[in-house]
Structure 1
């Protein structure tokens, strides 16, 4: 999809583009986004969030991943290498998860703006939380069990039950978090030991738990096959290529696709 730059983007122009894409009032939306892909936006990330809220209206709900990507063993952090000699001090000093304070900037400016929005709700998971604003925000983020990072007891499953739709705004299917819910439903799963920093009754502590080994390495290929079925609406939003699709349909397709295309471990 080629998106021709037609000048500055505004709250009103972005709302018009979202309506043209097929988004409507009262919907529940899981948004993955890249602000820079939209072109120059008057008002930046705040204007983008306002545009979504204008389209969704008071009965709608906007949800974003609000992951605390660094709340894990620093030896597993992605990005620039950290000297091994620093790791003990980092482990001893890493702040515990606080839904009101812990940033999700690594997910982008739009996600961080939603997290900080007045009246926003955030799920309690210390690594893979979701933030939401709108009519169903509290309901959708109320449960997020520690072992269920992106599984049945997470906002992803609640979004599926709510019949939510996904908007991929300037990002590809590799960012489609809903596909991870399908991984939890495969005939096989590989456990993964994990830990995060939390505030417990005894104070700050690393809390261990057993999650699931997840892998987004083939999500781009999975999404391309899903798009070929006609289940994805595409169009420009600002200068970005955008995709709109049903979350329940995406999870169902992904489960079948992954069952067929992935080799069971062992």
Structure 2
């Protein structure tokens, strides 16, 4: 069977960097990137050269941050793609490897974050499910103190990115990937509710244990609608990077907008 033709355009490290600059990415800034490699077209050098291009534009004084979530480290009782037999659940909880920020692969966030995670000098936050990796002068500040009972709230890198005045780049990704909206979830009425969150973690003695904590409920089901309203009401720069239409906007502004939007569109039950 004949393979389908390659889809372009052809992107290189140099063309990606030029288009990122044209979009408005600045040297020295702190940038949270959500990405889709396939949306860009044919990238010579793949995800590695996407990271090179981002670092070229940010320069030595800039900090690159990506989500390196590992949502597969979770309670099998909640798995649905695929679901697993209930009789497996105890053994899966007992045998799942504990989260190690140095070796646990990211899951479900694309290939660019995995490249950043393994990049020389990268630092990664400590949450077993919702970690972030960072490169640059602010990497330690952004990734430290990520508490197990706070996936994406005040004790996560999102709050540190807010303090740093970071911007968000949706590099071929949609608003459904915009994790910063979750920070607003922790600040709206109902955030005091708690749900059980389970994962495998390393112990102080070098072993592993299944841990269950209480955390605020989170959902991204309506983030595309939230993002569309945000983009309608605020000037969000848009531009091409490769084949993708990309967006660049301040994290603080997006979180504030979501904080006003969520109580209206998610009224308390």
Report deviation, 1:6.
Answer: 5.9
SS across alignment from 1:197: strand
- 1:242-261 equivalences in 2 (<5 Å): 242-261=246-265
- 1:105/1:111 contact within 8 Å kept: no
- Cα deviations by residue, 1:199-221 (Å, 9 ceiling, x for unpaired): 21353111121001111111111
8 Å contact kept, 2:127–2:151:
yes
Q: How does 1:6-85 map to 2 (within 5 A)?
A: 7-85=9-87
For residues 36 and 148 of structure 2, the distance between their equivalents in structure 1, rounded to whole angstroms, comes to 28
Deviations 1:105-147 (A, max 9, x none): 4211001011111100000111111001111111110110111
Structure 2 counterparts to residues 115-264 of structure 1, below 5 A: 115-189=117-191, 190-201=193-204, 203-264=207-268
How many equivalent residue pairs? Answer: 261
Once residues 211 and 8 of structure 2 are traced to their aligned partners in structure 1, the CA distance between those partners, rounded to angstroms, is: 50
> How far did residue 57 of structure 1 move?
0.2
- Once residues 35 and 81 of structure 2 are traced to their aligned partners in structure 1, the CA distance between those partners, rounded to angstroms, is 20
Contact 2:98 2:202 in 1 (8 A): yes
2:93 is aligned to 91
Where structure 2 has 5 or more consecutive residues not aligned to the other structure, the ranges are: 1-6
8 Å Cα contact 1:186-1:259 kept in structure 2: yes
CA distance in 1, matches of 2:27, 2:240: 19
8 Å CA contact 2:142, 2:157 repeated in 1:
yes
TM-score, normalised to structure 1, is: 0.95
CA distance in 2 between partners of 1:208 and 1:123 (Å): 19
Give the 3-state SS of the residue equivalent to 1:36 in structure 2.
Answer: helix
For residue 108 of structure 2, give the secondary structure of its aligned residue in structure 1: helix
RMSD over equivalenced CA pairs, Å: 1.3
